[in-house]
Amino acid sequence: TVWLSQTDDFENFGTSSPDLIATDSLTYQLSSVEQNRIQWIRAQKFLLIGTEGEEYSLQGADGNALSPTTLPLATVQSTEGSRGIRPTIVGDSLLFWSRDGRRLNVIIFVVTRDGFGTRDLTELAEQITGPGIIQSAYTHGPSRLLWNIRRYVVLVGFAYNRRPEVLAWFTRTTNGLFESVACIYG
């Protein structure tokens, strides 16, 4: 279930009575065969939602903004299943980790399908994520890299540029443990 507060009132989840207005709160339950917990939500062309079992796009009716006065349109875009690691937007792509943390997937809007398509970016280096990734952070420059912690022991880097089709995986080790990863500008 997605709960969206009233416009400009983040703690107010009430609605008007007797008629709804466009600034009221919105509650929407995703239609699914299984009951899967939401792991992340990111905005791109649509609101993208990753659950433990599927990835959805959520948009307003007829291409309009989400509103309590019209039912939103939720569409299953992928059945990969997501881990609770914040996904990364790189250009027009969204990178997200699979439920087990072993596969990095990309979800891209495909105009010819009028929907999203996914691809496994670890298919040529399946062993590099080992028992699973537990945290990620993306640096935009000067090198565009996704840094990932593999069970506190190894730092796994990933260079990704979709246009010239650049995919490169590498690892870094230390005498200690990696507890957290963050990227800062500068």
For the stretch 70-111, pLDDT in tens is 888 998 989 999 999 999 998 888 999 999 999 999 998 777
Distances (CA, A) of 2 to 30, 38, 81, 97, 120: 8, 9, 17, 21, 27
Percent of the chain clearing pLDDT 90 (strictly above): 55
Each residue's pLDDT tens digit, 17-47:
888 998 999 998 998 888 899 999 998 878 9
Is the Cβ–Cβ distance between 158 and 149 less than 8 Å? no
Q: Tell me: pLDDT of 171 over 90.
A: yes
> What's the pLDDT score for residue 55?
94
- pLDDT at residue 112, as a whole number: 77
In this predicted structure, what is the pLDDT of residue 48?
A: 93
Q: Which residues pair with 161 in a beta bridge?
A: 166
Give the model's pLDDT for residue 88.
Answer: 94
